Homo-oligomer: A and B are copies of this chain.
Amino acid sequence: MSYSYQYPHPAVATDCVVFGFDGKDLNILLIERGLDPYKGMWAFPGGFMKIDETAETCARRELSEETGLDIQVMKQLGAFSSVQRDPRERVVSIAFYVLVQPSEVSGGDDARQARWFPIDDVPQLAFDHDFILRKAMSQLRKDIYFEPIGFELLNNAFTMSELQRLYEAILGVHFDRRNFERKMLQTGILQTATESVDDLPASHSWEQVKANRFFGSHREMRRKDINDLFGSSDSSSQTVQDTSPHIHFQALSDEQLSLTDDCQLEAEEASPEVLPKRKPGRKGRLFSFDKEKYARFKHDNNFRFEF
Interface residues in chain A, defined as those with a beta carbon under 8 Å from any beta carbon in chain B: 1-12, 48-49, 51-57, 74-83, 90, 92, 94-96, 130-132, 134-135, 138-139, 142-143, 145-146, 172, 207, 220, 224-225, 227-240, 242, 245-249, 251, 254-255, 257-259, 302, 304, 306
A176 to B5, CA, bound (A): 57
Q: Complex Cα distance A51/B12, Å?
A: 12
Asked whether, in the complex, the Cβ of A54 is within 8 Å of the Cβ of B247, the reply is no
Interfacial chain B residues near A245, Cβ < 8 Å: 52-53, 57
Other-chain contact of A233, B6, B130, B238, B258 (Cβ < 8 Å): B238
Please state if B5 and A92 are interface contacts (CB–CB under 8 Å). Answer: no
Contacting residues, chain B, for A138 (C-beta < 8 A): 228, 232
* B residues near A230, Cβ cutoff 8 Å: 236-239
Residues of B within 8 A of A74 (CB): 237
How many copies of this chain? 2
A236 to B73, CA, bound (A): 9
Closest residue of chain B to A302, judged by CB?
A: B306
A96, A225, A231 interface centre (most CB from chain B within 10 Å) = A231
A3 engages B12 (CB within 8 Å) = no
User: How close is A94's CB to chain B, nearest CB, in angstroms?
Assistant: 4
Given A53-B245, A234-B135, A235-B232: A5 touches B1 (CB 8 Å cut-off)? no
Cα distance A75–B239 in the bound complex, in angstroms: 10
Given contacts A79-B78, A83-B52, A235-B234, contact A2 B5 (CB under 8 A): yes
9 nearest CB pairs, A to B: A78-B233, A232-B236, A233-B235, A230-B239, A234-B234, A76-B235, A9-B9, A6-B254, A55-B81
Contact check, B135 vs A231: say whether CB atoms are below 8 A apart.
yes
Residue pairs across A and B with Cβ atoms less than 8 A apart, 7 shown, are A12-B92, A56-B238, A75-B237, A76-B234, A78-B94, A134-B227, A139-B232
